[in-house]
Structures are given as structure tokens and as C-alpha cells.
Amino acid sequence: MTDEKKSETEEVEAQDIQEEPEEVLDEMAAKDQEIAELKEALEKQEAETQEYISLSQRLQADFENFKKITDKQNKEIIKFANQNIIKEFLDCYEDFGRALEVEDDKVLREGIELTYNKFKDILTKEGVEEIPAKGEKFDLNKHEALMVQASDDVENGYVIEELMKGYMYKDKVLKYSKVIVCKK
């Protein structure tokens, strides 16, 4: 290579070297700006994430408190669920007490009949019904056969006699009727 070309090449390289630091500095400044923007965005996202975590914790604490309050209320409801019916039975209980104080048999009977009818009314109002048994077809879902016996007056599989009454409470058997069933 000739000296002239060498010196020209060196000048271009020197110029490139001088220009490179300026470009590098500009590029570094742009990258620093980009890093600062990313840091700011990251801090904003972290703050937002902390807000959501805090909100989630508060909601969870509120839910736990709600559960405790609801459980307490449910226990109170269960504890006093029979309060109204017991209050109604107290009137009947007092009527029995008054009937026992009477010495006249006729008045005693009237008092007991009155109390019996009050009990029956309360039970009916609460949804309790007697299960029909005598003369009915035997039903395992409502009757309990204590005995079987033959009878000419009653068809096979029908109830001859009711030994103890059975009761339904709102479509559910509360107490099965104890019966004697005809078996031929």
C-alpha cells in the first residue's frame, strides 16, 4: 500500500474512532433512558401488585369474619329454633296443672279434653298429621307390623288393628304406626 493511501486510511480510522465514542455515548444514554423507563414501569407494577395483595388479604379477612358471624347466628337460630312451639306447649302444660287441681271428675275430664284438643291443634298447625292405619293396606313406609294374624273380616295385607298411632311431619314419617296385619 502506498503511503498516501495508508495515511488516508488512518485518518478515516481515526475519524471513525472519534465518531464511535459519540455514537456509543448516545447509544448508552438511550439505553440508560430505556432502563430508567423500565425501572419506573416495574416500580409501578410492583406497587399495583402490592395493592392487589393487600386487597386480597382484606377480602379474605372480611370473608373469615363473615363466616364467624354467620356460624354464630346459625348456632343461635338452632339453639332457639323450638322456642315458639315450646311457648305454645307451656299453655297446655299449665292447663294440665289446673286440671290436676280440680277434684270433680267431670270438670277434670273437660279440662283434659280441652288440653288434648289444644295439643292436637298445635301439632296440626306445625305440620304433624296422624298416619291412618286401621283398615288401610299395610305400607312399610308408614307402618310397622308388630304381629300378623288371620282374619275373615279383613283382606290379606291390610291392617287389622292399630296398637300405637304413627305421625307424619311435613311429608316425613316422624313415628311409624305399630299395627297388626292380616295374613291368610
CA dihedral 8, 9, 10, 12 (to 10 degrees): 90
144 vs 176: CA distance, rounded Å: 6
List Cβ<8 Å contacts ≥24 apart for 146-149. 146/178, 146/179, 146/180, 147/180, 147/181, 148/180, 148/181, 148/182, 148/183, 149/180, 149/181, 149/182, 149/183
End-to-end CA distance of the chain: 135
143 vs 131: CA distance, rounded Å: 8
The larger pLDDT score, comparing residue 101 to residue 121, is at 121
Q: Give residue-wise pLDDT tens across range 52-80.
A: 999 999 999 999 999 999 999 999 988 88
The larger pLDDT score, comparing residue 98 to residue 156, is at 156
- Whether the predicted pLDDT of 131 surpasses 80: yes
Q: What is the pLDDT of residue 165?
A: 92
CA distances from 18 to 26, 32, 144, 151 (A): 13, 21, 110, 127
Residue 150 CB partners (closer than 8 Å, separation 6+): 182, 183, 184
Domain boundaries, the chain: 1-81, 82-126, 130-184
87 vs 111: CA distance, rounded Å: 19
Lowest mean pLDDT among 34-38, 51-55, 149-153: 149-153
Which pLDDT band, with edges at 50, 70 and 90, does 152 fall under? Answer: confident
Nearest to 125 by CA among 87, 80, 75, 182: 87
- Predicted structure pTM score: 0.56
- Whether the predicted pLDDT of 184 surpasses 70: yes
Which pLDDT band, with edges at 50, 70 and 90, does 11 fall under? Answer: low
Topology of the domain covering 130-184: Nucleotide Exchange Factor Grpe; Chain A, domain 2 (2.30.22)
The larger pLDDT score, comparing residue 99 to residue 175, is at 175
Which pLDDT band, with edges at 50, 70 and 90, does 96 fall under? Answer: confident
